Amino acid sequence: MEITAFLDRKLARRFRTYDSDGDGFIEREDFTQAGARTTKAFGLADCDPKAVRFQKTLVGLWDQLSSVTDQDHNGRISVDEYKKAFANGLLETAESFDEGYVPFLEALMEIADEDGDGKLTAEEHVRWTGALMNLSEIDAREIHYLLSDEDGLMSTQALLDAIREFYFSEDPASAGNWLLGSLD
């Protein structure tokens, strides 16, 4: 997979959202801390089945990501290792994308979609993106607005499509490319 300048900026931005403690590396602890913040933001106890499933899914994402990116096997991923994994085809196919993101999105929606209608309100979106990825409220509200239907709700499918656009679209005007706010 070719890493264009635009994709490089998107990957750098995504890396920063993974790096919960801001130390310049992604580690398993970044995933577990982000999961704990997210379940807490929705008032779930650690032993709640939804919280357990979400944490298990995040650890699975970490395991998958680290197995193909942690080249020096030191238990942490540098931004260069992260970008190199994409260049080597980490999410090159729809199947590899769906393997990682569909189970994650299902577990996330089980927590964030409080009324279970398959759609997120602006408040739900702001809470999960802030807790999981430290996204600012302004950025979260802006992307929610871009991806919402006429009722102001964001469907699971709209979110999945936006995540796909983030990784695969080279169109800077595409809503998915703003999924994490500014790329600067």
Query: Which pLDDT tens digit goes with each residue over 77-119?
Result: 999 999 888 777 666 666 777 777 888 999 999 999 999 999 9
The domain 5-173 having CATH identifier 1.10.238.10: the answer here is yes
Q: Residue 131: what pLDDT?
A: 96
* Among the listed residues 168, 121, 155, 114, the one whose alpha carbon sits nearest the alpha carbon of residue 140: 121
169 CB contacts (<8 Å, ≥6 apart)? 176, 177
| pLDDT, tens digit, 9 for 90 and up, residues 148-176 | 999 999 999 999 999 888 888 899 989 89
pLDDT score for 87: 73
Place of tokens 């979110």: 159
Largest CA distance in the chain: 48
- DSSP 3-state assignment of 71? coil
Are 162 and 175 in contact, with CB atoms under 8 Å apart? Answer: yes
Phi, psi for residue 117 in degrees, rounded to 5: -90, 5
Listed range (27-41, 58-72, 81-95, 108-122) with the worst mean pLDDT: 81-95
Amino acid at residue number 117: D
pLDDT at 119: 96
With 90 as the cut, is the pLDDT of residue 139 above it?
Answer: yes
pLDDT for res 99: 76
Q: Which two tokens stand for residue 117?
A: 């209608």
